[in-house]
Structure 1
C-alpha cells in the first residue's frame, strides 16, 4: 500500500515480467513514469544479496547490498544490562544533516549486472565504449568420403547481442586470433544488452541456436568435374582446382589426339606406300618412253638414209612404223601412271583433312566438358557440432 518495493533475485523470466507489470501499474497510479527496459535489465542481473528498491511515489530506484549476520540471543536481559548495551545518545538537532543513502544509483553507461552463472570476458582493458557480444568455442566436423574429406575445425563464434537476430551478423574467428581477458577495464562505458537477453535459460537457448546456425550457414564448398572424374581436395580453392582441371584436360586432349592419329596411321602409311610405288612406276614408264623415242628416232633416220641410198628401205620403214607405235603406247603408260599418282595424292590429302576435322571436333568437345565445374556443398555433421564456453563478451568500438 505504501508503494515501496524491495525486490531480490527472481528465478524465471515470467516472474520478472509479472513484477514489471506490477511496478508499471503502481507507477501509473502514482502519476510517475517507469523505464520498463532499464528495470527489467536490473532485475535480470541481480546477484546474491543485491536488492532493488523502487518507490512508486518517487522518481528513480536504488540498488543496495546486504551481508550475512548472525544473531546471538543471550537470553532475558535485565534493565541494567539493557542500559549498558544502549548508552544515552545526544539529542539530534534540527539542522543535522540527513544520513546518506547507502545505495548508488545506476546509469545507462555503467556496467550492467550479470546474473550468476554467466561468464564475462573482455576484448581489451583500455577505456572506451564496450558493446555486448555472445562468444563461444565451436567445433565443426566436415565429412565426405568421396572427396577424401574428414576435417575437424575449431573456431570462436562472435555475435552482437544488440540485434534481435545476432546470428545474421555472426562471424567465425580463429582461436589463435582471439585473446579474452577476465579483467574489466577501469574506465569505460557499457551499452546494455536488450532486456531479458542475458540469463541462464536464454544462454541454453543460444547454444541450440548456434548449432542450427552453424549447420545452415557454414557449409564447406568442394568442386568436381564429372567429365574428368576429378574432385577437389580439402582446402583446395576453386581457382586451384580449376587450374588442376585445365592441366588434366590438356593432357587428356593431347593423349586423345595421339590416339586419333594412331587410328589413322595405318591408312596413311598404306597410302604413302602406294604413292611411292606410283612415283616409281611413273619414273619407270617415263624412262621406257624416252628409250623408245630414241630407238624409234634412230630407226626412222636409218629408213630415210636407206631410201636415199636405195638399200633395204622397205624393211627399215616397217621397223620404224612399229617403233612409232611402241612410242605411243609408252606415252599412254606414262599418262596412266601419272593419273594413278594424282589419285593417290588426292586420297592422301583427303585423309589428312579427315584427321584434322576429327581432331578439331574432339578438342572442341573436350574443351566444353572440361569447363564444367560442379559445386558440392558439404554441411557440418549435426551430431558433431559442439558449442562450449558460451559467454558474454564486451568488445570496444
Structure 2
C-alpha cells in the first residue's frame, strides 16, 4: 500500500489507461499548494464531477484545510454521511424506500448491500476503514441554510455593517464592495439594475458609501429611513430631487420595507452572524467544512446571498497575511449563472477578483460546472488545474480546448491540442483528464472511492436531522453571572422599587438600553451599579507588543453600602455594549446606597480604580513554543489554534522545500548513474552477443576447413582454430563484463533506493513534528505601563430588569454586555 497519508498531498485516484480501460497500481497524488492557482471541474451529469469534488474536500479536511462550500443542489451535504464502522444500520436511514423497491430489496437489505459495497470499494482503492474516522476527527462538517432553520441559520442583516478600515481606505476596494452589495440587494428586490444607469443603484451606492466612509453601520430599517431622507442633497453635480424625486424614493423605500416585513424574510434576520473566520474554524480552532446549502432559495435570493458571502470572503481574505501554502478553499458547485461569459450579475465581480488575487493569500477556488460555456473566459485562463470529465457536445469540447490552450500559454507550458482532443473524446464515468500547469504533462486518472456515502441531494428534513445536535443553543437575555432579584411583596411588585433618586449634578448617570427581545409591555426596574472606564497601555518590546486597550469594569450593587475599594468584586464589561439610553417609560428604581449619592465617593473610586487596573488587569497573550509564534492581542485561543494550523503547514511546506533542494541533486545524480549503469549493461550485452556470434562463426569456419579442405591439417586451419579459441575467450570475458556491469547497476539502484527512503523518512518526520497534536498553546500576561494608565470616568449605571407576574426580576439588558 502506498503511504499517501504522510506526504502532504491529496490522494485523488489512480492513473487510467485509455486503450486497455485499466487503472495503474500507483496512486495519483496532487500537491495541495497547486490549488492556490485554482481549479475548474467540468463534466456532464453522471460524469462523476460531484464525486471528484467530494474527494478533493475530503482530502483537504484530512490535511486540516478548511473550506466554504456553496451547494446549490444539496449534493455536497453527503460529506456529513461518514460512517467509521460501515454498519448496515448506519446506511439504513439514508436509503430511499423507492430505490430499494426498484432493486427488489427491503431497506435493510439495501443498506447491508451498501455497507458491503463501501467496504469493498475502500479496500480496492487501498484506503483503510479507519481513514473515515481520521476524516471525522480532522475537521467538523456543518450545513448552513440561510433563510431556513433546517441547518444552522445565518443572518445577513449585519452585511450592511461598515467594512474594515483597510477597505475604507482604498477607494477601489470600497467602490467594489459598495457596488456588489447594492447589486445583490437590488437583485433580491427584483430590480435588474445597471450600476452606471440605474437611479436606484446610484442612490443606494451613495448612501452606503457615505455611511461606510464614516465607519457607520447600517441595517435595513436604517437604510429605509435614509432612502426617504438621504444624508445628502446632491449626487455628482445634480441635486437629489432631479435624479430621484421624493415620490420615487418613497416607492423604493416601500419595496425594501415590503421585503423586510415579509414573513418569509423573517428567517434571514435570525441565526449566526455571517463571519468567515467562524465559518472556517470552530471556536476551538478546529478546521471546518462549512457547506452553505442554497437549494431551497429562489434564484433572486441565491444571487443576493452568494454575492454577500463572496464580499465577506473577500474582506476576510484581504485581512490575512500573504502565504504560499494553501490556507483555505472556496468550493462552488454548479457555478452556472454566477460567472457567465457575457452578462454581469452581482456575483461576477467578486468571483473574478478572488480568481485574480486569492493566490497571494493562500486561498484556492474550485469551480464546478456541467458546461464550459457557463464560465467567463477570463476565469478559465486564471485556473491552473483543469479536471475534465465527459462532455456533452463538440461545442463544449472546443470551448474547453480554447480555455486550456489559453491557460497553458499564460503559464508558459506547451499544449498538445490534438492529443487532448483525442483523450476528451474517450473519457468514461469517473475518469478525468487532469491538466495541471505545475506538472510536465496532462494525465488521465480514475477517481478513488469516496469516504462519504454518496446518496444524492439531501432534503431539508434530512439536513434538519443531521444538524440537530450542532445547532447553537439559544441564550438568555443576560448571562448567568448577572444576579437576579427575587424579593417581592405579596402584592406582586418589587418591594424596593421606587421613583428615581435625586442626585447632585456632578454625578453622571447612564441608563443601559432595554434589550430588543424584552416585551414592550413589561414593567422595568433599574438596579444600580458603578462603572469604571479607562485605557491601559501594554508595552513589551521583546514580544513586539505596543497596544492601547479600552477597559471597563462594572460593580453590581446588592446591599445598602459600597466598599471603599469595590473593584475587586467588579466584572469585565464589553465597552461596545455600553450605549446610554433614555430611561424606559414608567420605570421604577431600586434603592441607591448612600455612598452613591455623594460626588466625593466617585473621586475616591477613581483613585482606587487606577490602582486596581495596575494590580489586576493584564493583557493575555497566547504563545506556541514549537513555532515560536505569539497571538495578536485579543485573539481567542480557538482563532489562535486556527492560525497555528496554517503556520505549521507553512513551516512544513518550507522545510519540505528545503529538503527537496538538499536531496534532489543527490537523487538526480544517482538516477543518472543508474541510467548509465543500465546503458553499460546493455552495451556489454550487445558486445557479448557480438563476440559469441563471432566466436561461433570462426569456430565453424575452422571446422569446415578441416572437414572439407585438405586431408592434412594445414597451417591456415591451425590459425583459424587459434583465432576461434581467442574469440571464445573474448566472449567469455564479455559475459564477465555483463555480470560486473549488472552488479554495478544493482549497487547504484540500492544507493538510489536508500537515498529516496531516507528522503521520505525525513519528510515523514517533518510532518509528524508539525501536526496539530504536537502544538501546544501557553499563555503569558503583559502588565500595563503604570504611568500610562488613564481613567476616563467612574459613573453610576442603571441596569434594566424586567418584572415578571410574580414580581421576580430578570435581566432585561443585552447578554453581550458582560464579557465573562
Q: Same fold (TM over 0.5)?
A: yes
Give distance in 2, aligned partners of 1:395 and 1:265.
69
Which structure has more relative contact order (CA 8 Å, sep 6+)? It is 1
Deviation at 1:200? 4.9
Aligned residue for 2:548? 152
Counterpart of 1:141 in structure 2 is: 537
Name the CA distance, whole Å, in 2 between partners of 1:327 and 1:264. 41
Q: Secondary structure at the match of 2:688?
A: helix
Q: 1:372: which partner in 2? A: 776
Aligned counterparts of 2:733 and 2:576: Cα–Cα separation in 1:
99
SS of the equivalent of 1:303 reads helix
The CA deviation at 1:327 is 1.9
The CA distance in 1 between the partners of 2:791 and 2:675, in whole Å, is: 82
Q: How far apart, CA to CA, are the structure 1 residues paired with 2:504 and 2:752?
A: 93
| TM-score, scaled relative to structure 2 | 0.31
Equivalent residues of 1:227, 1:369 under 8 A apart = no
Give the match for residue 320 of structure 1: 724
User: For residue 606 of structure 2, what is the aligned residue in structure 1?
Assistant: 207
Among candidates 509, 530, 539, match of residue 121 of structure 1: 509
> Aligned pair in 2 of structure 1 residues 269, 133: CA closer, same or farther (>3 Å)?
closer
Task: Give the conservation status (yes or no) of the 8 Å contact 2:531–2:795.
Answer: yes
Shift of 1:274: 2.9
Deviations 1:2-29 (CA, angstroms, capped at 9, x unpaired): xxxxxxxxxxxxxxxxxxxxxxxxxxxx
Which piece of structure 1 moves more, 113-122 or 234-243? 113-122
Which one of 680, 687, 697 corresponds to residue 288 of structure 1? Answer: 687
Distance 1:286 1:109 in 2: 109
Q: Deviations over 1:321-350 (max 9, x none)?
A: 333222222211211111111111111111
Q: Corresponding residue for 2:580?
A: 179
Q: Assess, with a 3 A threshold, how the Cα gap between structure 1 residues 315 and 264 changes in structure 2: closer, same or farther.
A: same
Shift of 1:212: 4.3
User: Which secondary structure does the structure 1 equivalent of 2:736 belong to?
Assistant: helix
Q: CA deviation at 1:299?
A: 2.0
Matched residue, 1:251: 650
Cα displacement (A) at 1:389? 4.2
Cα offset, 1:196, TM superposition = 5.7
Structure 1 or 2, whichever has the larger Rg, is 1
* Distance in 2 separating the partners of 1:288 and 1:185: 107
After superposition, what is the alpha-carbon deviation per residue over 1:291-348, rounded to whole angstroms, capped at 9, x for unaligned?
1111221122223322322434544334333332222222112111111111111111
- CA drift of 1:395 comes to 3.0
1:298 equivalenced with 2:697 (yes/no): yes
Once the 2 structures are TM-superposed, how far is the Cα of residue 128 of structure 1 from its aligned partner?
3.3
- Structure 1 residue 134 displacement after superposition: 1.5
- Mapped partners of 1:169, 1:186: distance in 2: 29
- The change in CA–CA distance for 1:367 and 1:173 in structure 2 (over 3 A counts) is closer
Distance 1:375 1:352 in 2: 41
Q: Equivalents in 1 of 2:496, 2:675: separation in Å?
A: 103
Per the alignment, residue 170 of structure 1 pairs with: 571
In structure 2, the residue corresponding to 1:142 is in which secondary structure? strand
Match of 1:161 in 2: 557
Match of 1:392 among 771, 776, 796: 796
Q: Is the 8 A contact 1:141 1:381 kept in 2?
A: yes
2: distance between equivalents of 1:323 and 1:108?
124
Alignment correspondent of 1:341: 745
Segment of structure 1 superposing worse, 325-334 or 141-150:
141-150
Partner of 2:619: 220
| Alignment partners' CA distance in 1, 2:800 and 2:668 | 81
Could you say if the C-alpha distance between residues 179 and 115 of structure 1 is closer, same or farther in structure 2, counting changes exceeding 3 Å? closer
**May I ask how many residue pairs the two structures share in their alignment?**
289
Contact kept, 8 Å, 2:621 with 2:632, in 1: the verdict is yes
247-256 or 107-116, larger mean C-alpha shift: 107-116
Which has the higher mean CA deviation after the structures are superposed, 350-359 or 299-308?
A: 299-308
SS of the residue corresponding to residue 768 of structure 2 reads helix
Distance change in 2, residues 1:240/1:185 (3 Å): closer
Rounded to whole Å, the distance in 2 between the matches of 1:351 and 1:293 is 38
In structure 2, relative to structure 1, the CA distance for the partners of 1:122 and 1:295 (3 Å cut) is: closer
SS of the aligned residue for 1:377 comes to strand
- What RMSD in Å do the two structures reach over aligned CA positions? 3.7
Structure 1 residue 176, shift from structure 2 partner? 6.8
Q: CA contact under 8 A between 1:155 and 1:175: conserved in structure 2?
A: no
- What is the TM-score when the length of structure 1 is the normalising length? 0.60
Contact between 2:500 and 2:588, CA under 8 Å: does it hold in 1?
A: no
- Using the TM superposition, give the Cα deviation of residue 381 of structure 1 relative to its aligned residue in structure 2, in angstroms: 3.2
**1:360 CA drift (Å):** 2.2
Choose the corresponding residue for 1:358, options 759, 762, 773: 762
Structure 1 residues 363 and 287: alpha-carbon distance in aligned structure 2, compared to 1, 3 A threshold: same
Distance change in 2, residues 1:236/1:116 (3 Å)? closer
String of CA shifts for 1:23-71, please: whole Å, max 9, x gaps: xxxxxxxxxxxxxxxxxxxxxxxxxxxxxxxxxxxxxxxxxxxxxxxxx
Quote the offset at 1:121 in angstroms. 3.0
The answer on whether the counterparts of 1:156 and 1:175 sit within 8 Å (CA) in structure 2 is: no
1:52-63 maps to which residues of 2 (within 5 A)? none
Distance 1:384 1:136 in 2: 16
Matched residue SS, 1:128: strand
Deviation at 1:278, TM superposition (A): 2.3
- Give the whole-Å Cα distance in 1 for the aligned partners of 2:499 and 2:787: 37
In the TM superposition, what whole-angstrom CA distance separates every residue of 1:130-157 from its partner, at most 9, and x where no partner exists? Answer: 2222134433333333444433344654
